[in-house]
Amino acid sequence: MEVLTQKIPLENTSIKLFIRREDLIHPFVSGNKFRKLKYNLQQAKKENQTTLLTFGGAFSNHIAATAYAGKENGFETIGVIRGEELASKINENPTLKFAQDCGMKFVFVTRESYRLKGSKNFISELKNNLGSFYLIPEGGTNELAVKGCEEILSKEDNFYDFICCAIGTGGTISGLINSSFSYQKVLGFPSLKGDFLKEDIRKFAKNNNWDLISSYHFGGYGKVSEELIKFINTFYKKNAIPLDPIYTGKMVFGVIDLIAKNYFPENSKILLIHTGGIQGIKGINIKLKSKNIQTIQIND
């Protein structure tokens, strides 16, 4: 699959910055979620499963992607959603509304139960209630997802010195690491706080040419600041490239900040991976508006 790569003009630096527009590979199953679902859908078919079940929060890109991909590929879909209070708010939530319109059924659970979602008891209770299903973990990360993400880079990408991406569960960066060249450095920008990510990545990554830059999560998962929103809006005005506030906005902010701080050697060639997430902007904007904070101004 040929994916558009754009140059991002920078001033007063020898560094060259590029962005791979994985957000454009599918109108609804955008970016890395398409890559992560590809081999899981094949496996589910092979196992003769007719239902996909997965997990996610209120604005989850993975929930939206699974709902659409399920519909497109003839699967029933079930989303286990974090937060019981959302059950009565589906129509006010663009992500859940979209997923429901694709045919997804929901199971809303409390935050406490959601934390136990990986446990054998929780899964077997779901099977008792709902029948058989193909389980895709939260964020879609498993071995087959990593295999799909290994297809983001190709041998033709030998030109770049650094590959940068946002991190949620670590599946995407693991795929990038596995298909990178050993002289390249893969930098991950976690969109959440926590030290568990390194362990998670080591489970899947076959090389050591990577590092995490953990200072651009803006307070944690789903947290945004006015500075971040302003950055996303300015970046869009300048480059006509939309960024989401949960993942790609934080990563691109971080890289541009690090360039200004001379983190990268002179003449470095950096490739940013735009992992998508644009569907989530509508929901975040509703939240921002209710707090009287400026919204994300992109025409999606």
> Which whole-number Å values give the CA distances from 100 to 47, 84, 88, 90, in the listed order?
25, 16, 13, 8
Nearer to ligand PLP, 178 or 260 (CB): 178
Q: Which residues contact 213 (CB under 8 A, 6 or more apart)?
A: 187, 188, 189, 254, 258
- Residue 44's nearest CA partner among 79, 80, 69 is 69
Which residues bind to ligand PLP, rule: CB under 6 A? 31-33, 61-62, 139, 141, 166-172, 244, 247-248, 275-277
CA 284 to chain centre: 15
Output the smallest distance, CB 224 to ligand PLP, in A: 14
Output the smallest distance, CB 128 to ligand PLP, in A: 29
Output the smallest distance, CB 177 to ligand PLP, in A: 12
Output the smallest distance, CB 288 to ligand PLP, in A: 18
To which residue do tokens 């962005």 refer?
A: 19
Phi, psi of 70 (to 5 degrees): -60, -50
Output the smallest distance, CB 141 to ligand PLP, in A: 5
Nearer to ligand PLP, 50 or 239 (CB): 239
Nearer to ligand PLP, 55 or 132 (CB): 55
HSE value, Cβ hemisphere, 13 Å, CA-based, for 258: 22
Nearer to ligand PLP, 131 or 219 (CB): 219
Residue with smallest beta-carbon separation from ligand PLP: 277
> Which whole-number Å values give the CA distances from 167 to 31, 123, 158, 220, 291, in the listed order?
13, 26, 22, 12, 27
Output the smallest distance, CB 240 to ligand PLP, in A: 18
Q: Which residues pair with 187 in a beta bridge?
A: 164, 211
